Amino acid sequence: MNQRRPFTVLQFSDLWNHYLPVLLAICAGMGFSALAFFAVRWWESRDIAATFQSLAEERASTVKGTFEIETSMLDVLRTSLMTDGRVEKDEFYELLKPFHAHDKSIETVEWIPRVLHGNRQEFEASAQHNGFAGFRITQTARAEQ
């Protein structure tokens, strides 16, 4: 008859020695997988951040360039208006032609001349004569001085 040996420390040691290489391989594999995961994650997040930064700088540069062009065009218009003193409606729209030829980023630039009280009736009559029937100047609130 085959007798069973009672479980002893010697048998546990034999099992440990038998499975130790397997346990070490599993732990090493899991450790390497975790290390590879975090390394790739760091690398990808760094790449995403660099791409985002590059695209953001490119778009900011484009917006800045557009504003610089429009601002310089407005400066040309302002300088021209200041040197001529008084600008009539036709001259004003002639100065605006580069705006319309260049871009539509500025939606409205209007000709609103300053009319002194003494010239009001003459100005209203001129506007009515030029096709603005019923034209009149109104004042909604008194400007603070």
**Looking at the structure, do residues 98 and 73 belong to the same domain, yes or no?**
yes
> Has this prediction a pTM greater than 0.75?
no
**Of 9-13, 41-45, 56-60, 66-70, the least confident:** 9-13
Give 38 or 81, the one with higher predicted confidence.
38
User: Is residue 1 a part of any domain in this protein?
Assistant: no
User: Which percentage of the chain shows pLDDT scores above 90?
Assistant: 28
Query: How close are the terminal C-alpha atoms of the chain, in Å?
Result: 121
Structurally, the chain folds into a number of domains equal to 2
**Looking at the structure, do residues 42 and 103 belong to the same domain, yes or no?**
yes
**Looking at the structure, do residues 67 and 129 belong to the same domain, yes or no?**
no
Nearest to 89 by CA among 109, 105, 71, 66: 109
Residue with tokens 């557009």: 66
**Looking at the structure, do residues 130 and 93 belong to the same domain, yes or no?**
no
**Looking at the structure, do residues 27 and 70 belong to the same domain, yes or no?**
yes
User: Is residue 25 a part of any domain in this protein?
Assistant: yes
Query: Does the pLDDT value for residue 86 go beyond 60?
Result: yes
**Looking at the structure, do residues 132 and 73 belong to the same domain, yes or no?**
no
pLDDT band per the 50, 70, 90 thresholds, residue 88: confident
Range of the domain at 129: 113-139
For 106, the token pair is: 């500025």
